[in-house]
Amino acid sequence: MHRFFARHLICPLHEHLLGRRTFAYVRELERSQWLAPNELRDLQGRKLVELLRHAATNVPFYRERLREAGALERFAEARQGEFGAATSPDTKEESTGGQAASGTRRADGTRRAGGAPLDLLARMPLLTKDDIRRHGDAMLWHEAPGGLHRHNTGGSTGEPLTFHFDRRRQGYDQAARIRTHRWFGVDIGDRELFLWGSPIEWTRTDGVKRFRDALFNQRLLNAFDMSPQRIDAYIDAFNRFKPVCLFGYPSSIALLIDHARSRNCRLDTRRLQAVFVTGEVCHPHQREAIAEYLGVPVADGYGSREAGFIAHECPLGQMHLTAENVIVEIINQNGAAQPVGTPGEIVVTHLDAYAMPFIRYRTGDIGRLKPGRCACGRGLPMMDVVQGRATDFLYLPDGTVKHALSIIYPLRAMEGVRQFRVTQHEDFGVVVDVVADDAKGGISREAVAHRVRPVLGDSVDLRVEIVPRIAAEGSGKFRYVVSYARPGAASPPQG
């Protein structure tokens, strides 16, 4: 009964009150996933036209970029439907999809509408995190329906990044998540257990959080603080809640399972349908351990806070692009497009980010597009994420394991921190290197220590250093949390 009310009343009412058309978007995505790849590319071209027209008219940063590309007048003065079926950011939207491609031709030999804007996209400059930091305000559409909603992330470089969403983008990202859950027989209102660490959730009072969880048939367990005693409580919570799906960081879920094995405990999986992992690289050994112990499929999702819900695995194990909402390009180190099957950097254009458009955004992750069409029947393009974000745990002397994000979140939220790296040594001591953002008044060692000390507790030595720069590793990737502490050196759990 609770599931029925959550699915048909509480969740729809919640989205309506927030001004999001999430459930209309879900219906669109349920239909469009079965379109042929060329139909998805054609729809993508029309949706891209509307985004570029909006950017030329309402967003100063992109108005200048389109001017430099020689296309400003074309989009700023384009009439409704000039390049294909047009949509409006505050009226009916059409779903599109597919990776960037040249347009297709009709039977009479004329080019379909999608070709020209997709070709233009490849000629536009790439968008970097530094562009966003330097031109953030000029990238905003201040009149976005429902207002601007601020978010931030540490990014793969360890440099905090601030950006804004509108209700349209939020609704489409949520709709894409609902669709992929349905691929595994999990629907709105089914019991979902989160092993997660969102700072939004953990700054609420416990009473408010419990009330919200109860309404939506969800339960949230803190992945940022996994001491042996706390994991024991999580196992009890899992068995009482009897979730239909488990969602979280693969490393945290693997840690939960390892602990359950060591205590000879069993998790009640009689209702469990699937495990959804995201937020970091899911290594093969983690996937195998989770699937073997819980006896259900493990589905990996790829995305980021700023770039959106990019791709997700289907039941056949293929990772499908959320093609209706994003264009994905794969480029080499010179910015040139890579052939299908060849790895390169993942570049994303979010077709429904209107408040702050992300057009040709460099993610810093490595992946490749895959040829063909999945045997599941969906026309959504396929990809592999070859190398993505990887994090280390932090370890406390009493055996508590802290997810890297537990210290990343408070650091990236600090005004005056431009870049940071956290290093834990073999003796459990932690050094936080910080590059101050002088344009925002800089930052003090004391302020940084005050912010991260609650994460580490009093048993760990903490040193904060203000440094002029932080170098990347030899691979070129930036690890913003690195731990050399050995988990086995921690005190064994009691009991």
Q: Where are the domains of the chain?
A: 1-184+297-390, 394-489
pLDDT at 493: 35
pLDDT at 1: 58
How would DSSP label each residue in 381-438? Answer: -EEEEEE------EE-TTS-EE-THHHHHHHHTSTTEEEEEEEE-TTS-EEEEEEE-G
Fold annotation for 1-184+297-390: Rossmann fold (3.40.50)
Shortest CA distance to 278 belongs to which of 301, 256, 253?
301
Alpha carbons 197 and 223: distance in angstroms, whole number:
5
Fold annotation for 394-489: GMP Synthetase; Chain A, domain 3 (3.30.300)
pLDDT at 409: 84
Alpha carbons 401 and 375: distance in angstroms, whole number:
41
pLDDT at 385: 84
Both tokens of 274, joined, read: 């699937």
Contact 196, 247 (CB under 8 A): yes
The one-letter amino acid code at 326 reads V
Instruction: Output the pTM of the full model.
Output: 0.77
What stretches in the chain show pLDDT beneath 70? 1, 76-117, 154-159, 198-209, 387-391, 472-478, 487-495
